Amino acid sequence: MLTLSETAQQHFRRLIEQQGIDGLGVRMQAVQPGTPNADCRLEFCETSDLRGDESQLPLDGFTLYVDAASVPYLSGAEIDYTTSATGGQLTVRAPKLKGTPPAADAPLAERVRYLLDSEINPQIASHGGRVSLENVSDSGVVTLRFGGGCHGCGMADVTLKQGIEKTLRSRLPEITAVRDATDHASGHNPYYKDNHGKTAVR
C-alpha cells in the first residue's frame, strides 16, 4: 500500500519513545484528497483514538494506521526522512493524493463535480460555505445546492451568477445554465444576512 524508508521508521520510533506511552502508533490521513489543496496529516494515536476501520501497517516498534477513506489516495505513497547539517525533514510522496482531472470525454456531471471540489469549494470555504452538485440535465442545465454559510446567505445569488456560473461555463462550454435548488429561507447561519457583501468566488 505505502512504504516508509528505514530512516523514516527510525524517526518515528525516536519520537514515539520520547512520548513514553505504551502502544502508541502513528495515524495518517489525507486532507482534502482529490483536490489541488490536498495534503497529508500525520499524528500520534493510541488504540482508543481509532475508529476500527483503519488499514494497518505493522512496523518495527510501532504501527502506522491509515484512515479508511484515505486509503485510495495514499496507495503507493512513500514516506522518507532525510537529515542535513541544519536538521531533518520528513517528506511524503503520494502520487494519487491530489487525484487526476476527469478526461475531456468524461460525463459532464463528473467534470462539474471535479471543478466544484478542486476550485470552487476551496474558495467559498473561507465563508464557511460549500456547494454540491444536485443534477445535470440532458440539455446542460446544472443544478447546485448550497450548504454551510452559503445556505441562506444574502449574497448566494451573486456568488452563483457572478462567480460559480462564470467559472463553470468558461471551463465547460456545454453547460447552458446554472441554477440553485437551495431553500435559502431555511438557512440557520448565513455568512451575509442580507445582500450586502462580496461574492465568495472570485
Does residue 196 carry a pLDDT above 70? no
- Answer yes or no: do 48 and 82 share one domain: yes
pLDDT digits (tens, 9 = 90+) for 155-193: 556 667 768 888 899 999 999 999 888 765 544 444 444
- Among 10-19, 27-36, 106-115, 157-166, the least confident range: 157-166
Are 152 and 120 within 8 A, CB to CB?
A: no
Q: State whether 8 and 83 are in the same domain.
A: yes
Chain segment 59-82, per-residue pLDDT in tens: 999 999 999 999 989 999 999 999
Q: Domain boundary at 34, 60, 93, which?
A: 93
What does the alpha-carbon distance between residue 93 and residue 142 come to, in Å, rounded to a whole number? 36
Higher pLDDT, 195 or 95: 95
Least trusted range by pLDDT, from 41-45, 76-80, 104-108, 154-158: 154-158
Strand order of the β-sheet with 129-136 is: 129-136, 141-148, 177-180
Per the structure, the complete domain to which residue 8 belongs is given by: 3-93
The whole-angstrom distance between residue 160's C-alpha and the CA centroid of its chain comes to: 22
Total domains in the chain come to 2
